[in-house]
Structure 1
Amino acid sequence: MTHAVATDAATVARRIADVIDPVFAVIDSWRDAAERRLSSDAEPRAASVDPFVHDLVAAELVRAETLITGAGFVAAPGYLVDAPWHLAWWLSGRSPFQAEAARGIRRLDAESDPDAESFRDYTTLEWWRVPERTGSRHLTGPYVDYLCTDDYTVTITTPVRVDGEMVGLVGADVYVARLEQVLLPVLRGAGGTCTIVNASGRIVASSETHRATGALLRLDGLAEALAPLREAEAAGRVTDAARLPGGGTVVPCGDTSLALVVE
């Protein structure tokens, strides 16, 4: 690969990061606000936390240009006095599963009774497990979000701490179809075949139409090239570009934990 193409790949990766970074900034601002609010509450309750979270995320969910289609706060089990298991999560009016007549945002109706047949322990899911383990922001997906939308989704979550203890997460969902609308023109304007993958090698978007969203991109050496990206995400840093045995290049998209693969 020539130096010119490598430079182009770095430029494209930066443009991809420029799309994702504003979403990170919004989530970080929610985390900061949630930590301030919860640190002043001796007995936090869903009855008071829910209106706060609604007001926190509502403006972004109804903003015309936003990529975010769902957002909120997920409490650590037992943290809220009146709700041992609790999701304060709202979905935007752009959800394809919401009736056309319903505008604004709606509350996610999640089962909170652990004895109910439909209850799902969210602490077993990647978007909870990884931030809990690393203490850092994490991008999960793309995956089919059976909990919220039954559609391919990317979920970004970050820990909320009070007195050094993780009391929950704030986060946001982005529909992959919406993300593709924004990212595909960037990819198609670059040279070669360009594919965006997560740190596990799953496809987020590609200029190659036969590459399906959510599928693993199977290229010789890709798993090894992405290993430093996973380590960098946990450490909150950016890793370097890597070459593939077949001549392709893997370029991290800033600190988004996504990578651009150029063949």
Structure 2
Amino acid sequence: MTVTVDVSALQIAARIASTIDPVFTMIDRWRDRIEAELLAVATPSAARLDPRIAQLVGPALEAPGSLITGAGFVAAPGYLADAPWHLAWWLSGANTFGAGEGQGLRRLDAVSDPDAEQFRDYTVLEWWRVPARTGTRHLTGPYVDYLCTDDYTVTITTPVRAAGEMAGVVGTDLYVASLERELLPVVRESGYPCTLVNASGRIVTSTDSHRATGALLRLDGLGEALAPLREREGGAPADATALPGGGALVPCGDTSLALVLENLRD
């Protein structure tokens, strides 16, 4: 059931969307460039593609105040002639994974040999699996990313296609701590107990210190209210929805994030 909420909540949701939207726009631009590059060659290869990926994502990773801590392209298994499993992924100097802060821009040292003990099949991970199934972008997390950050992370990925085939995904990693610093002051302006969640109900940040980042928010009716966000991911935003007990869910544009407002009847 849709519900009318205070205009300030709608404004806060719009401000949250405006923080994420530039990341979406950047990833879409990268996707278009990669697709054009793949179509320009008869046999795509990692040797040719990797320098171009580095040129695409490097400036954004090194930009002062950038929210992203990792970015790149992950190829569909067998798509690249010289690299059956391949991650062309770069880390910013703020990313402490494997090196410590202040190490500068560097490439992720990924295990690409499927026979190696540390190899991980990335096609089973949410940030790959969902875009591959839906054909649209997907926001994964917050989750602890043991592959690229070793910290609470939000990963945004979108499919890359060439000649009618999925060539891989392109995307970014964002530390949840950085997002929280950016978004929590905005969320606090709601005037209500308020929690920002993803389309699965996982907490990004909250005005309630007892609601831990990454945990599932368990409220009556929340799963049903979030279903339109999962269905419309990458498309038009859903409407604000009433929750049992007097709360409301307010989508943040088409980001697949939403504000959960509680105790509106108090």
> Mapping of 1:108-187 within 5 angstroms?
108-187=108-187
* Corresponding position of 1:195: 195
Q: Which runs of 5+ in 2 are unaligned?
A: none
Does 1:227 find its partner at 2:227?
yes
TM-score, scaled relative to structure 2: 0.94
Stretches of 4+ moved more than 6 A in 1? none
Pair 1:95–1:101, CA change in 2 (3 A) = closer
Residue of structure 2 equivalent to 1:26: 26
Deviation per CA, 1:33-79: give whole Å up to 9, x if none. Answer: 10111110111111111101001100000001211110000000001
Instruction: Rate the CA distance shift 1:199–1:82 in 2: closer, same or farther, 3 A.
Output: same
Structure 1, gaps ≥5 residues long: none
Q: Residues 93 and 102 of structure 2 are in contact (CA less than 8 Å); yes or no, is this contact kept in structure 1?
A: no
Q: What amino acid maps onto 1:179 in structure 2? A: L
CA distance in 1, matches of 2:57, 2:194: 33
> Is structure 2 residue 53 aligned with structure 1 residue 85?
no
Q: Supply the RMSD in Å over aligned alpha carbons.
A: 1.3
Deviations for 1:81-115, whole angstroms, at most 9, x for unmatched residues? 11000000001001134334522x11101100001
Distance in 1 separating the partners of 2:27 and 2:167: 16
- Post-superposition shift, 1:216? 0.4
Give yes or no for contact 1:200–1:226 (8 Å, CA) kept in 2. yes
Secondary structure, counterpart of 1:189 in structure 2 = helix
Residue in 1 aligned with 2:256?
257
What TM-score do the two structures reach when normalised by structure 1?
A: 0.96
Q: Partners of 2:110 and 2:54 in 1: how far apart?
A: 16
CA distance in 2, matches of 1:110, 1:79: 17
Aligned to 2:241: 242
Letter in 2 for 1:84: P
8 A Cα contact 2:247 2:260, kept in partner? yes
Q: CA deviation at 1:190?
A: 1.7
CA contact (8 A) 1:6 1:249 kept: no
Identity of aligned residues (%): 68
Q: Structure 1's 217 and 43: CA in aligned 2 closer, same or farther, altered over 3 A?
A: same
How many aligned residue pairs are there? 259
Partner deviation per Cα, 1:190-247 (whole Å, 9 max, x = no partner): 210111100000000111111110000011111111111111116x221111000111
* Match of residue 100 from structure 2: 99
